[in-house]
């Protein structure tokens, strides 16, 4: 079966109420377009979304092993190794042996990596702030409520 952006329910899906599938589909498409537009704001244009995601995760959560990063990003270990190799080559991450288990290697954000992810976040926040400035206070309140709901959805 092929997937499309069609709002028509698939035969193998059940819905709990009329229109719920269409609402879910519209929300999915809007969130994906918004996410794609927001991700376009970045400090280094040549970096992939996956590379930026790794830097962002390391900034938020600290050093991780390659396996932990691969699991977090839902990619294979060899794929994550290629991502980390590029980031290390560019000077954005460092690898250090684990103090407790010398077989493990911890990947950490370097100063340059911290600077790149901080600037990327600043660019994204600035774009979003400029965009939100065109909305009414009531619309911004609606978006704040939607943000809270989206956070709940993402925790599932």
Q: Where are the domains of the chain?
A: 20-154
**According to the model, what pLDDT value does residue 52 have?**
96
Out of 1.10.10.10, 2.40.37.10, 1.25.40.10, 2.40.50.140, select the CATH number for domain 20-154: 1.10.10.10
**According to the model, what pLDDT value does residue 2 have?**
45
Residue 148 has pLDDT above 80, yes or no: yes
CB 15 within 8 A of CB 134: no
Rounded mean pLDDT of 115-140?
97
**According to the model, what pLDDT value does residue 103 have?**
86
**Percent of the chain at pLDDT exceeding 90:** 81
Residue 102 has pLDDT above 90, yes or no: no
Q: ∠ at Cα 29 (27, 31), nearest 5°?
A: 65
The whole-angstrom separation of Cα 16 and Cα 133 is 37
Q: How confident is the model at residue 15 (pLDDT cuts 50, 70, 90)?
A: low
């Amino acid at each position: 079966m092929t997937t499309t952006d069609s709002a028509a329910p698939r035969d193998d899906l059940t819905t709990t109420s009329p229109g719920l599938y269409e609402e879910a589909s519209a929300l999915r498409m809007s969130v994906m377009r918004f996410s794609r537009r927001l991700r376009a704001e970045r400090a280094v244009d040549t970096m992939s979304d996956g590379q930026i995601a790794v830097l962002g995760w390391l900034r938020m959560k600290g050093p991780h092993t390659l396996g932990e990063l691969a699991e977090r990003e839902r990619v294979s270990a060899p794929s994550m190794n290629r991502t980390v190799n590029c980031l290390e080559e560019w000077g954005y991450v460092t690898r250090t042996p684990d103090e407790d288990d010398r077989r493990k290697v911890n990947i950490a954000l370097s100063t340059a990596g911290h600077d790149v992810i901080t600037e990327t976040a600043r660019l994204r926040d600035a774009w979003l702030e400029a965009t939100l400035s065109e909305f009414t206070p009531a619309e911004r309140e609606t978006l704040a409520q939607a943000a809270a709901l989206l956070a709940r959805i993402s925790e599932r």
